[in-house]
Structure 1
Amino acid sequence: AQHSRFHLWLLNRVLWRIIPFNRPHRLEIVKISDDALEIRIPYRRANFNHIKGLHACCLATVAEYATGLLLVMQVDPTRYRLIMQAMHMEYHYQGKMDGFARFSIDQSRLEQEVFAPLASQEAVVFSPEVQIHDQEGNHLVTGIIHWQIKRWDKVRTAIERG
Structure 2
Amino acid sequence: MDLTKLIQKASQSKFQLWKLNRILWIGIPFNKPHRFKIRTIEEGHALIDLPYRRSNLNHIKTIHACAMATCSEYVSGLVLGTKFDFKEFRLIMKEMNMQYHFQGKMDAFCEFFFSSEEFQKVEDHLRLNDSIDLKVEVLCKDSENNVLSTALITWQIKYWAKTKSQKSN
Q: Name 2:6's counterpart in structure 1.
A: none
The alpha carbon displacement at 1:34 in A equals 1.5
Amino acid at match of 1:123: S
Q: Name 2:4's counterpart in structure 1.
A: none
- Rounded Cα–Cα distance in structure 1 between residues aligned with 2:87 and 2:134: 18
Q: Tell me whether 1:35 sits opposite 2:44 in the alignment.
A: yes
- Rounded Cα–Cα distance in structure 1 between residues aligned with 2:38 and 2:31: 12
Q: Tell me whether 1:68 sits opposite 2:77 in the alignment.
A: yes
Which sections of structure 1, spanning at least 5 residues, go unmatched? none
Q: Normalised by the size of structure 1, how large is the TM-score?
A: 0.94
The alpha carbon displacement at 1:3 in A equals 3.3
Which sections of structure 2, spanning at least 5 residues, go unmatched? 1-9
Q: Name 1:149's counterpart in structure 2.
A: 157
What's the CA shift string for 1:69-92, capped at 9, x where partnerless? Answer: 111121022221111100111100
The alpha carbon displacement at 1:160 in A equals 6.8
Secondary structure of the residue aligned to 1:82 is strand
Q: 1:5 to 1:160 in 2, by over 3 A?
A: closer
Amino acid at match of 1:104: F
Q: Normalised by the size of structure 2, how large is the TM-score?
A: 0.90
RMSD of aligned residue pairs (Cα, Å): 1.3
Q: Name 1:116's counterpart in structure 2.
A: 124
Aligned residues: 160
Q: Name 1:93's counterpart in structure 2.
A: 102
- Rounded Cα–Cα distance in structure 1 between residues aligned with 2:29 and 2:70: 13
The alpha carbon displacement at 1:159 in A equals 4.9
What's the CA shift string for 1:90-139, capped at 9, x where partnerless? Answer: 10000000001111110111111x11111111110111111111001111
- Rounded Cα–Cα distance in structure 1 between residues aligned with 2:166 and 2:117: 32
Amino acid at match of 1:47: N
